[in-house]
């Protein structure tokens, strides 16, 4: 979220007033574009707060929600909270904007790990040298009746992550090789000379704006950046896979 807020620094919560001939949608769009010229304004709609409009943007760092007065004279970046109902309205909107269509994922490019009947599904963008990826893998291992699709996603900061990812993909049993690496720190033997989907995974991650690992994607479109423990994973999986 911090990287998205770079589009509109918090220091610029109040924008310079424009001099519109009339108030409305065009003035708000112009005000936002003045502050974020590289972003595209996707929509301007009324927010629950009287006199305040919700503006959704799409820029280099992904979607973002900001707020404007109905004359386009002031812009504010931050969370809009519904105190009475204890809801973060901005987060709810962002969750919707960043949903991923499960059917659009190229699951053939993922390492498939199945436990039990495998009915519940989850996709994970994971770096083999990411500490929190290993922690998430430990939590996933505690769950039964699950299919985990792992998109190997080596980050530039980890010099050896690409080699390890390729070694896993080139193994005879990719699921076992991945679990041995993540749970036992056992690097696969053999050679990393086969054709791998690593570059395609990196391209997919950039398209989906996966900014870090682990990144969890559920069949209902919900995505969660970062670590989740087993109880929260269990609840999210049940909700995403039929609501049971």
Domains of the chain: 2-97 (3.10.450.70), 102-240 (3.40.30.10)
Q: For 1, how many CA atoms within 13 A lie in the half-sphere containing its CB?
A: 15
State residue 22's pLDDT score.
36
Dump pLDDT digits (tens) for 95-152: 888 888 999 999 999 999 999 999 999 999 999 999 999 999 999 999 999 999 999 9
Q: Measured between alpha carbons, how far is 241 from 235 in angstroms, rounded to an integer?
A: 10
Question: Six-digit token pair at 62?
Answer: 């992904």
Q: Which of 22-31, 96-105, 163-172 has the lowest mean pLDDT?
A: 22-31
Handedness of CA 209, 210, 212, 215 (dihedral sign): positive
Q: Is the dihedral of CA 229, 216, 117, 239 positive or negative?
A: positive
Beta-strand ranges (E) seen in the chain are 40-46, 52-59, 62-69, 75-76, 81-82, 87-88, 111-115, 120-126, 146-152, 215-217, 223-225
Instruction: With H, G, I as helix, E, B as strand and everything else as coil, classify residue 215.
Output: strand
pLDDT at 174 over 90: yes
Query: Hey, which residues does 52 pair with through a beta bridge?
Result: 69
Find how far residue 221's CA is from the centre of its chain.
Answer: 10
The CA distance from 54 to 72, in Å, is 11
Q: Would you give the distance in Å from CA 17 to the centre of its chain?
A: 34
pTM recorded for the entire structure: 0.73
pLDDT in tens, 57-72: 887 767 889 999 988 8
Give 243's pLDDT tier (boundaries 50, 70, 90). low
Residue 166: predicted pLDDT: 97
């Amino acid at each position: 979220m911090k990287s998205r807020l770079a589009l509109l620094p918090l220091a610029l919560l109040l924008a310079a007033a424009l001099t519109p001939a009339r108030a409305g949608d065009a003035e708000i769009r112009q005000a936002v574009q003045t502050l974020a010229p590289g972003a595209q304004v996707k929509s301007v709609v009324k927010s629950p707060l009287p006199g305040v409009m919700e503006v959704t943007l799409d820029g280099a760092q992904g979607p973002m929600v900001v707020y404007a007065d109905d004359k386009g004279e002031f812009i504010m970046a931050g969370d809009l909270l519904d105190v009475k109902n204890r809801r973060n309205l901005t987060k709810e909107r962002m969750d919707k904007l960043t949903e991923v269509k499960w059917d659009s994922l190229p699951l053939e490019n993922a390492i498939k790990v199945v436990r039990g009947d495998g009915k519940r599904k989850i996709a994970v963008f994971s770096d083999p040298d990411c500490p929190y990826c290993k922690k998430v893998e430990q939590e996933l291992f505690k769950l039964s009746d699950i299919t985990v699709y792992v998109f190997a996603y080596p980050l530039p900061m980890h010099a050896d992550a690409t080699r390890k990812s390729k070694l896993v993909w080139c193994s005879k049993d990719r699921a076992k090789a991945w679990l041995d690496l993540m749970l036992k720190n056992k690097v696969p033997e053999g050679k990393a000379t086969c054709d791998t989907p690593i570059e395609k995974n990196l391209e997919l991650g950039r398209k989906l704006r996966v900014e870090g690992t682990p990144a969890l994607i559920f069949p209902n479109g919900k995505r969660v950046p970062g670590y989740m423990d087993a109880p929260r994973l269990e609840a999210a999986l049940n909700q995403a896979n039929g609501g049971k």
